[in-house]
Amino acid sequence: MIESINYKPIGIMHSQFKEPKGTPIQPSAAKNIKGIVEVFTEYEKGLKDIDGFSHIILIYHFHLTKSYSLEAKPFMDNRTHGVFATRAPARPNPIGLSVVRLIRIEGKMIFIKDVDIVDGTPLLDIKPFLLEFDHTDKIKKGWLTGNINKLDKSRDDGRFSR
């Protein structure tokens, strides 16, 4: 069994959100909110040709989460669920994922929209988003079926941060 895996951030994210509380909980609830991804200089060459994509996937470390539980009460429900049936940030491996709109690139700075990420969040990876790769038909929404309408009004209330 692998005991640990270590990752080194490739950049840092900048947004108007200085703490988790009040932050939109998904990119689709953060329409037109701007942010900047600052890729560290040693990884800047990896941005070559990314400007041809309209959307990118940001994979990051939830650096402000407190300890996790295998059951979580998510923002859009009053009941607890297994943490792997939620997108709660307090998880055994606090890894976040957001699909954002790529606006432009200036050197090592990526200007984005639909930002649901706290300022100072360490970036682990960037991947292009492609509907043909990342979309499937006949999606089941699980426990979110009756709660998905709460997304636009839901905000982080600080329950998972330090």
Task: Domain 11-153: give its CATH code.
Answer: 2.40.30.70
The total of other beta-carbon atoms located within 10 Å of residue 54's CB is 11
pLDDT digits (tens, 9 = 90+) for 61-103: 999 988 899 998 877 778 999 999 988 888 999 999 999 999 9
Domain ranges of the chain: 11-153
Tell me the per-residue pLDDT of 133-151, one tens digit each, with 9 for 90 and over: 777 777 665 666 666 665 5
When computed from its CA atoms, the radius of gyration of the chain, rounded to whole angstroms, is 16
d(CA 10, CA 28): 25
3 state DSSP class of 92: coil
d(CA 88, CA 90): 6
